[in-house]
Amino acid sequence: MLYGALEAGGTKMVCATGDENGHIIKQTHVPTTMPDETMAKIIDYFKDEKIEALGVACFGPVDLKKDSPTYGYITSTPKPGWSDFDIVGCLKDALGVPVGFDTDVNGSLLGEVTWGCAKGLSDAVYITIGTGIGGGVLSGGNLLHGMMHAELGHMLLTPEPEDTYPGGCPFHTACFEGLASGPAIERRYGKKAYELADDPAVWELESKYIAKALVNIILTLSPQRIILGGGVMHQKQLFPLIRSKVTEYLNGYIRAAELEDMDTYIVPASLGDDQGIMGALKLAALAV
């Protein structure tokens, strides 16, 4: 069957077609501007494809409760124009096909669980660190929704004593996203993350914030593996720093076989930055 996949991000919307095996046939993207302009381009793209269903992995917060009057809405996002936008209803009305829906990070985790480095696990966490920070959670073999969905990027963190940047989240200031996202790095140093690749002090501080967030996740969700993706995590020098600090901060409190090899416990995304769109294909298949 031919499925459509939409990875709806705050900067760009990735549109693709593919099959139930996660094979991507064609792919394009459109900038995320205002809803009317952006959605018109997305609908035009999929109208030309004879898809059987569409999977949407969307930036949030979103409403995932199917019995809610605002199911399928983007809710309290700070993205201008997108707050309280019915993205599922818009696509379903225009395309006339079933629409599977979840958060962008749950979509990425679903891709990794189905075809990537979390395959065969019942409990895993995917964190993206880029323009924002978000987390998807697999618990007991199911994507975690609950009251709404996990918002791991907004856990509160204490700023490090040497850090003069107060944090940039408009809701919480010094949360994980406010202190460690790509924009936080740029505001702190006046340069983008990739321009700071050779500055050890940058990554020493960044790894402290990421490691403390991961320790919170380990202690509350007890995942069998943590996967880190997003633009900031293209700085591969972060991984050994994070693994070392997580071990240090846990301080021997948790005794588990998974933690004996941090190289296989805290890992990079494994699907070549296609985990989100592949997860959206899986959402489409599940919708059918």
Say yes or no: 144 and 80 in one domain.
no
Question: Tell me, what's the pLDDT at 119?
Answer: 97
Q: Could you give the CA distance from residue 223 to residue 268 in angstroms, rounded to a whole number?
A: 15
Say yes or no: 170 and 232 in one domain.
yes
Evaluate whether residue 110 is within a structural domain.
no
- The CATH number given to whatever domain includes residue 66 is 3.30.420.40
Say yes or no: 52 and 183 in one domain.
no
Say yes or no: 160 and 259 in one domain.
yes
Say yes or no: 152 and 253 in one domain.
yes
Count of structural domains within the chain: 2
Say yes or no: 73 and 194 in one domain.
no
Say yes or no: 158 and 257 in one domain.
yes
Say yes or no: 167 and 252 in one domain.
yes
Question: Tell me, what's the pLDDT at 219?
Answer: 98
Closest CA to 223 of 134, 128, 115, 144: 144
Say yes or no: 92 and 126 in one domain.
no
Domain coverage including residue 24: 3-104+273-287
Evaluate whether residue 24 is within a structural domain.
yes
Local confidence pLDDT in tens for the 288 residues of the chain: 999 999 999 889 999 999 999 999 999 999 999 999 999 999 999 998 999 999 999 998 999 999 999 999 999 888 899 999 999 999 999 999 999 999 999 999 999 999 999 999 999 999 999 989 999 999 999 999 888 788 899 999 999 999 999 999 988 989 999 999 999 999 999 999 999 999 999 999 999 999 999 999 999 999 999 999 999 999 999 999 999 999 999 999 999 999 999 999 999 999 999 999 999 999 999 999
Question: Tell me, what's the pLDDT at 79?
Answer: 86
Evaluate whether residue 111 is within a structural domain.
no
Contact (CB, 8 A) for 157 and 214: no
Evaluate whether residue 109 is within a structural domain.
no
Say yes or no: 229 and 259 in one domain.
yes
Evaluate whether residue 112 is within a structural domain.
no
Contact (CB, 8 A) for 43 and 95: yes
Say yes or no: 159 and 85 in one domain.
no
Evaluate whether residue 277 is within a structural domain.
yes
Q: Could you give the CA distance from residue 148 to residue 72 in angstroms, rounded to a whole number?
A: 12
Evaluate whether residue 20 is within a structural domain.
yes
Say yes or no: 40 and 156 in one domain.
no
Closest CA to 25 of 34, 35, 14, 17: 17
Question: Tell me, what's the pLDDT at 35?
Answer: 96
